[in-house]
Every structure is written in C-alpha cells, then in structure tokens.
Chains A and B, each alone.
Chain A
Amino acid sequence: MTRILIIGATSAIAKATARRWAHEGHELYLVGRNLDHLHEMAGDLKVRGARSVECAALDVNDFARHAAVIDAAAVALGGLDVALIAHGTLGDQKVCEQDFQAALQELNTNAISVISLLTHLANRFEAQKQGSLVVLGSVAGDRGRQSNYVYGTAKSAVATFMQGLRNRLHKSGVQVLTVKPGFVDTPMTAAFDKKGPLWSTPDVIAQAILRGIARRRDVIYTPWFWWGVMTIIKSIPERLFKRLSL
C-alpha cells in the first residue's frame, strides 16, 4: 500500500491520477484550496477503492504553511512514499505582458510555490532514502515562445530545479520525475478550441504518470509523440525561431 500526497488534488490531471491510484487501493492525502471539493473527491475515491483518503486545505501561495501541511500529511499517512505536485494556473499571456503583477502571480503559483514545496519534500525524502517526487511540468517549458512564455518560464524553471534535485537525490535512491504533457483538455484550457489530434485527456496523462513511476523514469513526455515534436522545436536555430508565430 503506497502513501501518496497530492498537492493541487482537484486539478483535472491530479483527479484522474488519484482515481487510478484509488482503484489500486492506495492511501491518499489530498491538498487543495477548496475543502468542499476535496471532501467530494474523497468520497468518490473511497468508492473507487482507496484504502483511506484525507484532505487538507492550502493555498500554495501561502509559502509559510508548506512545511506544516507536508508534515501533517506524513503524520496522517504514517510516512510519504509518493508526492505529486499538480497545481497550476494558465494566466492570460497578454495581460501578463502589460502588467508585471499578473506575471508575478503566475510565476509565484507555477514556479516559486512548487520550488518551496520541493525544498521541504526533497529534504524529507533524502533523509528517508526512498520515494518518488513527481511534478507536472509542460512542453511549454522546453522553449519560450511568444504565445505563452510567462507560463513557459515557470515550467522551465521547475524543470531545471527538478534536474538539480534529480542529481542531488540520486545517491539517496529517490526518484525525481518531471511529467511534460502537451495540450490536455481540462478546465484550465477551457478557452482553447480543442479539436485535433494534438489534444489529449487527463486520463492519458494519469496512465503515463503511473507508468513513469513504476519504471523509475526521470522525464516523460506524454502523449509519447511530444518528445519528437519538442526535439524538433528545440533544435530550430534562434535566428529562425524568432520569426515564427507559434
């Protein structure tokens, strides 16, 4: 029975992943802003087979509370085997361009808060010499492009931080997994026109996460073809890329 902490538990990908974990009968600790949503989710996960589900409220931008929430989760579950950080926002790029406060908010939510949580979790996992730290990154972090570079910057920062952690925690036997989904049909992407083969679903990402943990992967692109797409994107010389409208 695995003891799993999920931060940003009510997000679509976290929900789909939690459901798969529930089906396998694990013990879950859900953290999010809305306690009512979390309790409703807990009820659902128990029907699906979770051995136990507990909840706690946290706004991830309240950095001062991170350590306490993580400690409470560890106490409730008797330890932590997996931590999944899945919260995020997709701000309006145009607004962020004009208003630094908006950009700062995006960077805090999507990068700084994640780094804070990882700092506490990394220390805990290093000491216990086992476990998996899993973070939802994005293909958007692989290269800055004009349509979403504030979001991309945050995801890029997190990916680099995870690289450093991976290097540091390797000798402790802790898995550090960066999940990079492409376009996923969720409430966060509600404003997009969602047709086309590039769009995936939360459950596909969830399956990739479970597989990635089981196979001790470092970085996964999901669906699989995004590895190829981003390899090409990353290889385009800057003097050419700067002219594109991606």
Chain B
Amino acid sequence: MELHGWGRYPRQEAHVAEPLSGQQCLRAVPGASPLIARGQGRSYGDSALGPKVLSTRYLDQFHDFDPQTGVLSCAAGVSLDDILRTLVPRGWFLPVMPGTRFITVGGAIASDVHGKNHHRDGTFSAHVASIRILLGNGECVDASPTDKAELFYATCGGMGLTGVIVSAVLRLKAITASDILETRIKTPSLDAVLEAFDANAASAYSVAWIDCMARGSSLGRSILVMGEQCTEGPLVAQQAKALGIPVDMPAGLLNRAVGKAFNAAYYGRTRSNAQPSRKPFESFISPLDAISGWSSLYGRPGFLQYQFVLPKESGGNGLREILQRIGQSRLGAFLAVLKLFGDANANPLSFPIKGYSLAVDFKAEAATFELLDVLDGIVAAHGGRLYLAKDARMSEAMFKAGYPRWQEFEEVRARWHAHGKFMSTQSRRLGLA
C-alpha cells in the first residue's frame, strides 16, 4: 500500500505488517529484509517509510497504572491522546507534550519529542523510566538509564533504528486542574521576541508564532505565548471532534499572497494582553489537532516542514539571516513557530540543544528545495542541526555535520544487532547502516 508522512511528501509503496500482539511482532523481525516501525505516521517525511514497514496500530494496550506514583506501563502503539483521555480526568498529565497528541508512545520516544516546556522539563525521554525493545536478532530487552544505558539513550531519538519499541514505562505528572493559563505578548521584531524569551524564562510553557513573511523593520515580528498549569478548575480531556478536511485542496490554495495576508491578519488581530486567559490544555498545546487532516490544505504535492535549532550564542544572527532569505524567496511560509530550548540531553540523536528552534512550512515544490539547501548552509555554518522527525530531504553531509555523535550511534547499533535490520527511507538517505 502507498504510505506517506504527515507532509504527504514523499509517497512510497510499502509492504505493511500489522502484528496483533507482541508475539506476532517477534516473528516479523528475524526475516531477511530490513524494516522500520511505524506508529501513527505523523513524522513529516520518510522516517516511517521503507519497503517493509511494521505498524504498531494493534499494539495499543495499557498494561498497568499506579495511581499513587503516576507510573504508567503500556504498549508502544498507545497514543498520547489515549493516555490523556484516560488519565487527565483522574488528575494525571504527560510531562512533555508535542504539538499534536495523535502520535504513539513509540513514536514519541523514537523522535524524542519536545514541547513548549522544553526549557524547563526537557524531552519526552526524560520522563521515560524504561523501554522494551525488540532487537535485530529477535531478542527482546528492557533498557533504562541504569540498565543497558547506551541502548536506552540511542533509542530515544533513534528514529526506530535500534529496534522496534514494543512497550514503555512512563512517569506521568500529577495535576489538580487541566486548563492552562495563557498570556500573550506581541513583539514587533526578532530582537524583541528573543529578548522576551529571556525575560520570561520562568514560564512553564513558552513558544512564539512568528511571521516569516514580514520584512524590513518588521522582520521576525511575533506573538509570544506563555502558559502556566492551572491549579484549580476542572480535569477534562475533550474527545477529538475535529473539523475534517476530507480531500486534497487545489495545490495553489496556500500561495504566497494567501500566506502574507493570513500572517498579517493573525498578527494584527492579536491583542497583546497582559491579562492571562484560561484555555483547555488541548487548545494551548495542540491547537492544530482541531483541524484534522490540515496537511491536505497543501494539496496533492504535499509540503515540507523545515525545523532547525541554532546554538544560542550565534542564534540571533543565524535566525536573522534565515528570515531574510525566506522573506526574499517568493515562497509562502505558513505556521512558523519559534522556541527557545533548554539544555541538550545525553542522547546521541536527540534534536534539541540550547538555542533557538524555528519550524516553518513550505509547499513541496522545486523552488522550496533550492531554498532549503541554502538554509542548510546557514544552519550548518552556525553549528545547528535539523529535526529528523520533520525532515524529508536533508543530505547525508548535513546530517553528519549537525549530529557529530552519529558515529557513536552507529557503533551502539552495531553492538545491539541493528545494522541491516532496521532501516527507513530516511536512514538510507542519511547514510546509516
């Protein structure tokens, strides 16, 4: 069947196995050809594509939950949405939530996802007690920071290339209310928003919506959104009642003119309010989940999301250069998100490092590919890297420059029988075995 990622580019024919249980999973691996695991397929590019794909859709059971400690044990195919709907009403939250809740636990670990609270709470794996992994030799092992630590660290952010994540034990966070108290600040320039990030470092959650099409003195104008967990109020997780976009929109719908107008309107109508307002956590943390299938607004050719991080020291200059380049191009850039990350962790392929991360969408057309190659040069020159979970086209050289511990990662994979067993279209492109 034809598969694709969230950006709908690229598309690829795959043989998909859908094991019904952990036992069936075991039989899928020692086969001849390499495979890659796939959760909900929400990575943007080709991280979960390959000739042979193992879907975890039926590995979706909870195993155990301790209401005293908040420790949850579950199969890797359980979605974050399922965890939230089951446990938020009982006063438990995920310590790290990315911009969508429709991903699996396995996917969250494999991409080592981050959220709007990265600067304080780190990545998803910081709250994972242990992982059960099916290795390339058919053996199933448990790895944690204290047992087979190198395998644990390589798997968190390892894009499924160390083995199939079968189940995990997570530490949830106790909450007394599910709403988030949101404050917005309008910042008229790039310098202003970078200063605002520093000034508001004590916020639990912070992220900026940035207008990538603004130029000149308005370059980098943004809306900084901050959040704090409410301590009083209801404990509610809404059933996803999403506005669907059932068919591919015409490819020309989201063009430059539309993008400029949308960004300007969004920026313009937002009032910078010093008064915090209470929001359901879904609309604060994952607002786009309300529009199911929003990626089809980009039409059949699909889109590319370019997400990079630059170290903080030179990050401001790098960002300025990149924003100028994007502005100069004739390409519509929508839904751009800027975040100041906290410290990096010990994982060789985990994306966040201390600095500025920008995520921006482009239509998947020829001019975009040219622009992104140019932007790669700027990111590399500043010592930054791209996010593998969003990537659909980065070169091997760009990957190895951005992730200098790639060799260590390959050595760990070799020791744990992963070479030639777990490969994706992305990993082949990046020159991994």
Contacts and interface: CB of A to CB of B under 8 A. Distances in A.
Interface residues of A, number: 13
A3 B116 CA distance: 43
10 contacts: A37-B21, A40-B63, A43-B61, A43-B62, A44-B61, A47-B62, A47-B86, A49-B86, A187-B18, A197-B246
Interface string B17-38: 0101100000000000000000
A74 B65 CA distance: 28
Contacts of A40: 21, 61, 63
A193 B1 contact: yes
A204 to B, nearest CB: 12
A124 interface: no
A33 interface: no
Interface residues of B, number: 14
B102 interface: no
A40 B78 CA distance: 14
Contacts of B64: 43, 47
Contacts of B72: 47
Contact of A44 (B1, B21, B62): B62
Interface string B59-80: 0011111000000101000000
A2 B355 CA distance: 54
A235 to B, nearest CB: 28
B416 interface: no
A28 B21 CA distance: 22
Nearest to A10: B20
A85 to B, nearest CB: 21
Given A43-B62, A43-B64, A193-B1, 12 more contacts: A23-B86, A40-B21, A40-B61, A41-B61, A43-B61, A44-B61, A44-B62, A47-B62, A47-B65, A47-B74, A49-B86, A187-B58
Which 7 pairs from chain A and chain B are nearest by CB? A47-B62, A44-B61, A47-B65, A44-B62, A48-B86, A43-B63, A40-B61
A224 B65 CA distance: 36
A190 B19 CA distance: 11
B223 to A, nearest CB: 36
Nearest to A197: B246
A197 B293 CA distance: 14
Interface of A: 23, 37, 40-41, 43-44, 47-49, 187, 190, 193, 197
Contact of B62 (A48, A187, A197): A48
Nearest to B87: A47
A41 B75 CA distance: 12
A47 B71 CA distance: 12
B406 to A, nearest CB: 37
A20 to B, nearest CB: 11
Contacts of A187: 18, 20, 58
A226 to B, nearest CB: 18
Nearest to A44: B61
A195 to B, nearest CB: 9
Nearest to B78: A44
Contacts of B20: 187
Interface in B76-112: 86
A190 B18 contact: yes
Given A23-B86, A49-B86, A187-B18, A44 B63 contact: yes
Contacts of A43: 61-64
Contacts of B65: 47
B428 to A, nearest CB: 27
A41 B62 CA distance: 8
Contacts of B63: 40, 43-44, 47
B217 to A, nearest CB: 49
Nearest to A186: B58
A149 B129 CA distance: 52
A37 B23 CA distance: 11
Nearest to A194: B1
Contacts of B58: 187
A40 B61 CA distance: 8
Residue with the highest number of chain A CB atoms closer than 10 Å, among B65, B72, B86: B86
B303 to A, nearest CB: 21
Contacts of B86: 23, 47-49
A9 B18 CA distance: 19
